[in-house]
Structure 1
Amino acid sequence: MAALDGIQRIVLLMLENRSFDHLLGHLSLENLHPDVDGLREPDVNPRYANVFENRVHRPFLIEDEASVIRDPPHQRELVARQLARSTSGRFRMSGFVDAYVTYTQHRAQHSPPMGYFDSRGAWMSSFLAREYCVCDRWFTPLPADTQPNRCMAFTGDTLIDRTESRLLPHRDHVFDWLDRHHVRWRVYYDGPPFFLLFGRFTELLGSKYRPFDSLARDLREEPPDSAPQVLFIEPRYYDIAWTDEPANCNHPLALVSQGELLVHRLYTALTRDPEQWARTLLIITYDEHGGFFDHVPPLPIEQPIAAGAHYTEPFTTTGPRVPGLIVSPWVRPGRAFHGPLDHTSLLQLFAEKFGAGPEDYSASVNHRRAQGIRSVAEALSDVPTLRAFPTVVPHASAPQPSMRRPPRSASERAFQKAALELKRHEGPLPAEAKYPELATVPPET
Structure 2
Amino acid sequence: MTSSPSRRDFLKRVAALTAAGALPSSIGRALALPANSRTGTLRDIEHVVILMQENRSFDHYFGALRGVRGFGDPRPLQLRDGHPVWSQPAADGRRLLPFAFDSQDTCAPLIKSLDHSWKAGHGQDPARWAEYDAWVPYKGELTMGYFQRHDIPYYHALADAFTICDGYFCSLHGPTNPNRMYLFTGTSGPSVGNLGAQAVTNADDGNWTADMARDKPGYAAMDWTTYAQRLQAAGVDWRVYQEYDNFGCNSLAYFSHYRDLHPGDERYRRARACVPGSTADNAATTQAEHLIAAIAADVQADRLPQVSWIVPPTAYCEHPEAPPAYGESLVARLIDALTANPQVWAKTALIINYDENDGFFDHVPAALPALDARMGRSNVDTRGEVYEGVPMGLGIRVPMLVISPWTRGGWVNSQVFDHTSVLRLLERRFGVAEPNISPWRRAVS
Secondary structure, counterpart of 2:85 in structure 1: helix
How far did 1:312 drift? 3.5
2:72 is matched with: 40
In the comparison of the two structures, how many residue pairs are matched? 334
Task: Check the 8 A contact 2:362/2:396 in 1, yes or no.
Answer: yes
Classify 1:129/1:20 alpha carbon distance in 2 versus 1 (closer, same or farther; 3 Å).
Answer: same
How far did 1:121 drift? 1.5
Task: Check the 8 A contact 1:347/1:365 in 2, yes or no.
Answer: no
How far did 1:363 drift? 4.9
2:195 is matched with: none
Task: Check the 8 A contact 1:81/1:98 in 2, yes or no.
Answer: no
Aligned amino acid, residue 306 of structure 2 = Q
Secondary structure, counterpart of 2:41 in structure 1: helix
CA distance in 2, matches of 1:119, 1:79: 34
2:65 is matched with: 27
CA distance in 1, matches of 2:241, 2:49: 10
Aligned amino acid, residue 125 of structure 1 = Y
Alignment pair present for 1:146 and 2:188:
no
Alignment pair present for 1:340 and 2:340:
no
Secondary structure, counterpart of 1:142 in structure 2: coil
Aligned amino acid, residue 178 of structure 2 = P
1:70 is matched with: 112
Task: Check the 8 A contact 2:120/2:126 in 1, yes or no.
Answer: no
1:304 is matched with: 383
- The counterpart of 2:434, out of the listed 337, 358, 361, is 361
Q: CA-to-partner distance for each residue in 1:37-87, whole Å, 9 max, x for gaps?
A: 011399xx932111111111111111236347221111113689999856x
CA distance in 1, matches of 2:412, 2:51: 19
User: Where do residues 36-435 of structure 1 align in structure 2 (5 Å cutoff)?
Assistant: 36-40=68-72, 46-52=84-90, 53-64=92-103, 66-67=107-108, 69-77=111-119, 91-101=130-140, 111-159=141-189, 160-166=199-205, 168-193=221-246, 194-195=249-250, 196-198=253-255, 200-201=258-259, 202=261, 205-206=268-269, 209-211=273-275, 212=291, 213-222=293-302, 227-237=304-314, 247-301=315-369, 304-305=383-384, 312-315=388-391, 317-355=393-431, 360-369=433-442, 371-373=443-445
How far did 1:187 drift? 1.6
Aligned amino acid, residue 188 of structure 1 = Y
Secondary structure, counterpart of 1:22 in structure 2: helix
Task: Check the 8 A contact 2:60/2:362 in 1, yes or no.
Answer: yes
CA distance in 2, matches of 1:191, 1:118: 33
Task: Check the 8 A contact 1:10/1:281 in 2, yes or no.
Answer: yes
TM-score by length of 1: 0.69
Aligned amino acid, residue 60 of structure 1 = F
Secondary structure, counterpart of 2:241 in structure 1: strand
- The counterpart of 1:17, out of the listed 40, 55, 63, is 55
- In structure 1, stretches of 5+ residues that fail to align are 29-33, 102-110, 238-246, 374-445
CA distance in 2, matches of 1:7, 1:228: 12
Q: CA-to-partner distance for each residue in 1:92-144, whole Å, 9 max, x for gaps?
A: 4332111024xxxxxxxxx2111111112222221111111100000111111
How far did 1:227 drift? 3.9
CA distance in 1, matches of 2:123, 2:96: 16
Classify 1:191/1:333 alpha carbon distance in 2 versus 1 (closer, same or farther; 3 Å).
Answer: farther
* Bigger relative CO (Cα 8 Å, ≥ 6 apart): 2
Task: Check the 8 A contact 1:3/1:330 in 2, yes or no.
Answer: no
TM-score by length of 2: 0.69
Secondary structure, counterpart of 1:27 in structure 2: coil
Aligned amino acid, residue 268 of structure 1 = D
Task: Check the 8 A contact 1:84/1:93 in 2, yes or no.
Answer: no
Task: Check the 8 A contact 2:367/2:444 in 1, yes or no.
Answer: no
Q: CA-to-partner distance for each residue in 1:180-211, whole Å, 9 max, x for gaps?
A: 11110112114444223335242674266452
Task: Check the 8 A contact 2:368/2:391 in 1, yes or no.
Answer: no
CA distance in 2, matches of 1:190, 1:349: 27
Task: Check the 8 A contact 2:369/2:440 in 1, yes or no.
Answer: no
Secondary structure, counterpart of 1:2 in structure 2: coil
Classify 1:363/1:169 alpha carbon distance in 2 versus 1 (closer, same or farther; 3 Å).
Answer: closer
CA distance in 2, matches of 1:271, 1:286: 23
Aligned amino acid, residue 175 of structure 2 = D
Classify 1:295/1:191 alpha carbon distance in 2 versus 1 (closer, same or farther; 3 Å).
Answer: farther
Task: Check the 8 A contact 2:185/2:436 in 1, yes or no.
Answer: no
CA distance in 2, matches of 1:269, 1:255: 22
Secondary structure, counterpart of 1:284 in structure 2: strand
How far did 1:152 drift? 1.2
Task: Check the 8 A contact 2:119/2:126 in 1, yes or no.
Answer: no
How far did 1:315 drift? 2.5
2:193 is matched with: none
How far did 1:169 drift? 2.2
- In structure 2, stretches of 5+ residues that fail to align are 1-38, 75-82, 190-198, 206-218, 276-290, 371-381
How far did 1:218 drift? 1.7
CA distance in 1, matches of 2:335, 2:383: 37
How far did 1:165 drift? 4.3
CA RMSD in angstroms, aligned pairs only: 2.8
